[in-house]
């Protein structure tokens, strides 16, 4: 429930880390981000001596009490001057015990790998040695020039609810039907069937719709949905794909949305939203204006607030899945094969076919797997 370890997660805009340390919680671990000589570092946010946070900071009444940098390449606890190496977490000095303090070199706190890419700070929490950060960033973002607009927010609800909501194929058909963001676009269908695909060598999971019904007649009830005039529009083929440890990519005509669901603790996650347009020149400037004047509010704020309400309200297990939850089942199988999990219990690239569909349709109360 505290999240998949052994992955790189984006946690903060790089420009937000300056002289002041920034405490964050990631996969249930409290750590502190510190910038030194242009580079970012992360240490466990707890001094080994008496347990005070290394990010400790007091307001004006405590006039200026805070942990701080006394010597380059180190960070010093504000209580007794214990001084840790930023790279290794090793205690290199206990200032108030003199240069010959016998405890130096005998204490180490956890340090975490940090990288800065795309203007974001990426942190790695895990037991197996970290792969290059590029392994956990979509390739196209690292190689193509682009504009990226984004927001980072903290939301209620376990990261698993947030991620499963993102790959959940059915909810836009009902939850988002009347969102302003969907006005004058082709509405979501009433329902359709889908099959799963694993593009880019199985790195991503995607669902491919077929047998699409824009409207239908429900026996004994009536027709659904009603489609008001402002909910019509041309075809708007978006492609949705998800990858570990919890990133969704939504390709829209002209731009792409990348979002990360970053575990904080059992009840909270960090929501990193971006909108990216590749290219250069005037079209990029036009998109920048579109992003700041329209999309940031109508999509990233209003539209996704609808999801936030559901993620906050979710409460499962117990749960009862239905046919469109095939994509959620596919995602859960992908999680079973996550990095650092030993042997995968099911190959994500293997076909998850009709059996799973039947299972979803008639299941008798499946229990959610722990992630």
Footprint (CB under 8 A) of a second copy, residues 206-245: 213, 216-222, 224-225
Nearer to a second copy, 90 or 252 (CB): 90
Question: C-beta of 193: minimal distance to a second copy in Å?
Answer: 9
Between the alpha carbon of residue 320 and those of residues 269, 328, 347, the distances in Å are: 24, 12, 24
Q: Which stretch binds a second copy (CB under 8 A): 58-66, 231-239, 284-292, 342-350?
A: 58-66
Using the contact rule CB under 8 A, the part of the chain among 113-121, 233-241, 269-277, 320-328 near a second copy is 320-328
By CB under 8 A, the residues from 131 to 190 that bind a second copy are 168, 170-171, 173-175, 178-180, 190
Closest CB to a second copy among 171 and 203?
171
| Among residues 323, 336, 339, 344, the one that binds a second copy under rule CB under 8 A | 323
61, 229, 282, 342: residue in contact with a second copy (rule CB under 8 A): 61
CB of 266 to a second copy, least distance (A): 15
Taking CB under 8 A as the rule, does residue 322 contact a second copy?
Answer: yes
Closest CB 346 distance from a second copy, rounded Å:
22
Q: How many CB atoms lie within 10 A of CB 46?
A: 19
Q: Is 94 in the site for a second copy (CB under 8 A)?
A: yes
Closer by beta carbon to a second copy, 58 or else 208: 58
Contact stretch for a second copy (CB under 8 A) within 102-110, 123-131, 248-256, 274-282: 102-110
How many angstroms separate the first and last alpha carbons of the chain? 5
Instruction: Give the separation between CA 324 and CA 321, rounded to whole angstroms.
Output: 8
d(Cα 16, Cα 37) in Å, to the nearest integer? 15
Rounded Cα distance, 355 and 268, in Å: 34
Inter-CA distances, 87 with 75, 98, 361, Å: 10, 22, 52
CB of 67 to a second copy, least distance (A): 10
Q: Which helix (H) or strand (E) holds 331?
A: helix 326-336
Which residues from 296-315 bind a second copy, rule CB under 8 A? Answer: 301-302, 305-306, 308-310, 313-315
- Decide: 272 and 260 in contact? Cβ < 8 Å: yes
List Cβ neighbours of 74 (8 Å cut-off, separation of 6 or more): 83, 84, 85, 86, 92, 93
What are the residues whose beta carbons fall under 8 Å from the beta carbon of 203, sequence distance 6 or more?
Answer: 243
Q: What's the min distance (Å) between Cβ of 315 and a second copy?
A: 3
Give the nearest distance from C-beta 46 to a second copy in angstroms.
7
74 binds a second copy (CB under 8 A): yes
Name the CA radius of gyration of the chain, rounded.
Answer: 24
Which lies closer to a second copy via its Cβ, residue 54 or residue 248?
A: 54
Q: Where are the beta strands (DSSP E) in 168-243?
A: 191-197, 204-213, 216-218, 222-224, 239-243
Tokens describing residue 323: 């046919």
**Of 283 and 369, CB closest to a second copy:** 369
- Pick from 1, 69, 97, 134 the residue near a second copy by CB under 8 A: 97
Q: Which residue lies nearer to a second copy by CB, 51 or 253?
A: 51
Where in 344-363 is the site for a second copy (CB under 8 A)?
Answer: 358, 361-362
Q: Is 116 in the site for a second copy (CB under 8 A)?
A: no
Size of the site for a second copy (CB under 8 A): 78
Residue 330 found at the interface with a second copy (CB under 8 A): no
Q: Among residues 288 and 301, whose Cβ is nearest to a second copy?
A: 301
Q: How far is CA 149 from CA 16, 219, 278, 290, in A?
A: 15, 46, 12, 10
Residue 201 or 315: the one with the smaller Cβ distance to a second copy is: 315
* Other beta carbons less than 10 A from residue 238's beta carbon: 12
Tokens 């030194």 correspond to 36
Instruction: Examine residue 43 and tell whether it contacts a second copy (CB under 8 A).
Output: no
CA distances from 260 to 56, 63, 151, 245, 313 (A): 28, 38, 11, 8, 20
């Amino acid at each position: 429930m505290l999240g998949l370890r052994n992955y790189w997660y984006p946690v903060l805009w790089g420009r937000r880390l300056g002289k002041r340390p920034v405490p964050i919680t990631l996969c249930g671990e409290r750590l502190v981000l510190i910038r030194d000589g242009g580079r970012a570092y992360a240490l466990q946010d707890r001094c080994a001596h008496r347990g005070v946070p290394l990010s400790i900071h007091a307001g004006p009444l405590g006039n200026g009490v805070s942990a701080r940098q006394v010597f380059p390449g180190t960070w010093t606890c504000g209580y007794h001057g214990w001084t840790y190496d930023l790279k290794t977490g090793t205690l290199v000095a206990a200032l108030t015990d003199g240069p010959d303090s016998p405890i130096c070199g005998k204490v180490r706190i956890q340090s975490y790998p940090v990288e800065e890419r795309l203007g974001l700070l990426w942190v790695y929490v895990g037991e197996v040695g970290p792969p290059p950060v590029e392994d956990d960033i979509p390739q196209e973002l690292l190689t193509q020039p682009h504009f990226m607009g984004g927001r980072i927010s903290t939301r209620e609800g376990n990261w698993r609810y947030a991620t499963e909501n993102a790959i959940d194929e059915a909810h836009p058909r009902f939850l988002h039907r009347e969102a302003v963001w969907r006005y004058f676009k082709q509405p979501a269908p009433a329902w359709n069937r889908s099959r799963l695909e694993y593009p880019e060598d199985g790195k991503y999971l995607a669902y491919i719709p077929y047998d699409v019904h824009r409207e239908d007649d429900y026996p004994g009830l009536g027709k659904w949905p009603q489609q008001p005039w402002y909910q019509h529009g041309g075809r708007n083929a978006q492609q949705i794909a998800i990858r570990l440890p919890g990133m969704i990519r939504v390709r829209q005509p002209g731009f792409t949305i990348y979002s990360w669901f970053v575990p904080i603790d059992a009840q909270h996650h960090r929501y990193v939203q971006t909108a990216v347009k590749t290219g250069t020149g005037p079209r990029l400037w036009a998109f920048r204006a579109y992003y700041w004047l329209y999309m940031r509010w109508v999509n990233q704020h209003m539209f996704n607030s609808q999801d936030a309400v559901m993620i906050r309200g979710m409460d499962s297990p117990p749960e009862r899945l239905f046919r469109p939850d095939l994509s959620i089942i596919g995602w859960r199988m992908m999680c079973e094969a996550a990095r650092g999990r030993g042997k995968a219990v099911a190959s994500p690239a293997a076909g998850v076919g009709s059996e799973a569909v039947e299972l979803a349709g008639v299941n008798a109360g499946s229990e959610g797997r722990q992630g």
